[in-house]
Structures are given as structure tokens and as C-alpha cells.
Amino acid sequence: MLSEVRAGLGMNAATAGLLTSLPVLAFALFGALAPYLASRLGLHRIALLALLCVVVGLGTRVLVDHELPFLALSMLALSGMAVANVVLPSLVKLHFPDRIGLVTAIYSTALSTGLTAALMFTVPLSHALGGWRDGLGIWAVVALVAAVPWLGLIAHDRHLARPERTITYLDVLRTPLGKAMAVFFAFQSLQAYVCFGWFATLWRDAGFSATQAGLLVGLLAATAIPLSLWAPTKLARSPDPRSLLFAIMACYFVGYVGLMVAPHSLAIVWALFVGAGTTTFPLILVLVGLRARTPEGTAALSGVTQSLGYLVAATGPFTIGALYDATDGWTWPLTLLIVLVLPLFAVAAYVARPMYVEDQLTSRR
């Protein structure tokens, strides 16, 4: 909907570029602040506050007629999304310490479903409801529905014991595990950012129409839905999760090589493989919960993992786009994506080992 938003607000190209960069800025900045905010306000209160920021941001930005308030309100919505993303693993650790895999599977599947719905339905909704404002604003209703159950949980924060020592963002950043998890998240997010940002163009270049290319990207996203229900639980129960991690990540290789060889005739097959590769995202969310002993440690580890990971991942679409423009084709961009999958295997082999961030903090003192 970017073209329609630009036309409706009189937005120039530079401002449009800033708008598309806001998500990664929000996730890096507010993701880093989330553990501190959670320790001050409480996990449940910050979750509700995050959702209310999403509601207000998404619901009111479509009412303005100027680009600056639209950017500010978009940032407000994104700040809520960033904070919620970080505190969710900590909430799972608090309420379901023995069912981290199952509960992560449930909410990561919901994330995949929401992503697929947004990719496939925003444009049709805009056409059906009368314009881009209604098509974008309708998603505030989804956030409002999501906020309702948290009204009954905010009092729970009054009954939680305060940790003896607050685990800070910088504490976790100094540990080998914190660094490794951030690298893991960065490289897996980079792959997903590129897929959702550029693969519609790839399939357009392969001869598909705009609608067909959009449906292929939707299929890629939808592939993660059933796998997100199964893979996190499987990983949490596995004594050695490396084989599952390696198998999921290897799907990227198959998909990218296939797109080099037969991007049109077997497009559906390669979309399924690349989509399976994106299931790495819910798996790392499970690892965030498994690699900390406490909800506080989980929040801090989640903050480091996601804020730094998203910041690094944001370079992916820009780099791939520049390489695509320079080579006027997809062979070199896909080759680079294949090369960038390799660090995932090395880092996954490390974070798959049983360890806890609190133990590494203790050993450093």
C-alpha cells in the first residue's frame, strides 16, 4: 500500500524510505528497552501497554493528513510490537516453564497466521472498504481484541516477587550466549526480510503477474504455519536439537538453488522450501526460553537477541537490492543468500547445547 499512502499524504521518496525503515529502528531501540520497562512496570502491565500502543498507533495514523504525524503514530504502533515481541518469551517462561515448546508453538503459529493474513488481505480489504486508510486501520481492531485478555492479568504483577538482582541488557550482551543468540537471530531474520521484501520482484522477473507473485509470497509465509505448530514442541523435547535446526535451515539451500535453476516452472515447490526455512524464527524463540533459568533472564536475553538481530537483519534487503541492481539478475543475490545461511549452522551448533545465560553471568563475576 506504499504507493497509495504516499499519494494520500503527499509523501516524498525520502520520507517513504524512512517509513519502511521504522520497523527495524523500533525493534532495535524499544526491543533493547523492553527488559528494563518490564522490570519497572511488570510483565503483564507492559504487555497490555504494548498492545494499547499498537491500537492507538494503527487506529489513529490513518486519520491524519500529514506525513510527520503518520510517521510518529507508526512509530508508536511499532514500539508496542517491539516490546511485546521481547516480553512474550519471558511470559511463557513465567507461566509455562514446563511447556515452553508447546506454548511457543501456539503463539508463533499465530504470528505466522497474522503475517500471512496481512500479506494477502490488506489490499483486498482496502478495495472492499473504500481506500488505503480503512485497509490499514482495520488491523487496529485485531490488536484491540488481543488486548482484552490482558486486562484480567495486570493485577498479577503485584503478586510477583522482585528478583534479587536485575539482569540487564548489557549483562547479557557480555556473555557468549547473548552474542551467539543475537547473531543467530540476525542471520535468520535477514533471510526472512529478503524473502518478504524481494521475492515478489523475483517472481515478477520470472514471468508471473503481480497477483501471482503476491500469492507465491503468501504461500511462502503460510508454509510456516503448520510447521510452527510442530517444530517448537519437537525442539523443546529433543535432547539434541541440532538435527532439527540443521534440517530446517537446509531448506533455504534447496529453495535458493531451485530458484536459480527453475524459478518459474517449479516456483511453488521452491516457495514451500524457503517457507520451511523461515520456521527457524519460532525455533529461536523457543531457545530464548530454554537458555535462561528465570523470566528476568529470559526477558534480557530476548531483548539482546531481538534488538541487535533486527538491526543487523535490516541490512539484508538493502544489500540484496543493491546487488540485484548491479548485476541485473538474481543469480548473485541468491548466491549471497546461500553464503549467509552458512553462519546459521555454526551458531546453531553452539546455542543448541544445554546452557543458561544466568550461569554465564555468574561465571563472569
pLDDT (tens digit per residue) in 306-351:
999 988 888 888 888 889 989 989 999 999 999 999 999 999 999 9
Residue 47 lies in a domain: yes
Identify the sign of the CA torsion 233, 30, 159, 172: positive
d(CA 251, CA 232): 17
Residue-number span of the structural domain to which 232 is assigned? 2-355
Q: Are 252 and 341 in contact (CB under 8 A)?
A: yes
d(CA 5, CA 162): 46
Residue 248 lies in a domain: yes
Answer yes or no: is pLDDT of 166 > 80. Answer: no
Q: Are 233 and 281 in contact (CB under 8 A)?
A: no
Q: Give the pTM.
A: 0.83
Q: Express each pLDDT in 57-80 by its tens digit.
A: 999 999 999 999 999 999 999 999
CATH of the domain at 227: 1.20.1250.20
In the chain, what is the greatest distance between 2 CA atoms, to the nearest angstrom? 61
Percent of the chain whose pLDDT exceeds 70:
97
The pLDDT, as a whole number, for residue 165 is 65
Residue 361 lies in a domain: no
Query: What residue type is 308 in one-letter code?
Result: L
d(CA 32, CA 304): 6
Q: Are 186 and 313 in contact (CB under 8 A)?
A: yes
The mean predicted confidence, pLDDT, of the chain is 90
Q: Express each pLDDT in 234-284 by its tens digit.
A: 999 998 899 999 999 999 999 999 999 999 999 999 999 999 999 999 999
Residue 124 lies in a domain: yes
Query: Which residue, chain included where needed, has cell 515478489?
Result: 200
Q: Are 291 and 351 in contact (CB under 8 A)?
A: yes
> What's the domain count of the chain?
1
Q: How confident is the model at residue 46 (pLDDT cuts 50, 70, 90)?
A: very high
Residue 147 lies in a domain: yes
d(CA 250, CA 159): 45
d(CA 77, CA 52): 8
Q: How confident is the model at residue 163 (pLDDT cuts 50, 70, 90)?
A: low
Residue 364 lies in a domain: no
Residue 272 lies in a domain: yes
